[in-house]
Amino acid sequence: MADKEFTYSDVSEHTSKKDIYLVIHDKVYNTTSFVDEHPGGEEVLLDVGGQDATEAFEDVGHSDEAREILDGLLVGTLKREQGDPAPKTSGPSTTTASKSASDAAGLGIGVYALILVGGALAFFAYQYLQSNQTKA
């Protein structure tokens, strides 16, 4: 059954809680049986039902277990036709994840530097004020 090909038009007909298909990395998944079990709630799946959910799936950073569950829901592949939207991503978003991690690390270092400089300024201001009080 996973050999079946679906068009975007086919997938877009499956958008209800009782019949919901998603496209992730050009593979078509029937997530109907998983809607009630989805840890993020049914709304998450319903929001992307009948659409390419690749970006949403990868942005969340699903676990290996989630990917195994997804493999069990595979019903076919997406057959792209002229006029279809371009794929959201070509594969798992490792470059985006590593870029985000390095951005977060850079921000963390910046915050520590700001605290360190602020602390040093406060210390020297305190010392200056104390020396002026003892002179007066």
Q: Which residues contact 12 (CB under 8 A, 6 or more apart)?
A: 50, 51
**pLDDT tens per residue across span 50-93:** 999 999 998 888 888 989 999 999 999 998 887 777 776 544 44
Does the pLDDT at position 95 exceed 60? no
Letter string b/e over residues 89-125, b meaning 16 or more CB atoms within 10 A of that residue's CB: beeebeeeeeeeeeeeeeeeeeeeeeeeeeeeeeeee
Task: Evaluate if pTM is beyond 0.95.
Answer: no
Of the candidate ranges 15-19, 42-46, 52-56, 82-86, the one whose mean pLDDT is the lowest: 82-86
Q: Which pLDDT tens digit goes with each residue over 101-115? A: 555 555 677 777 888
Cα(70)–Cα(59) distance, integer angstroms:
16
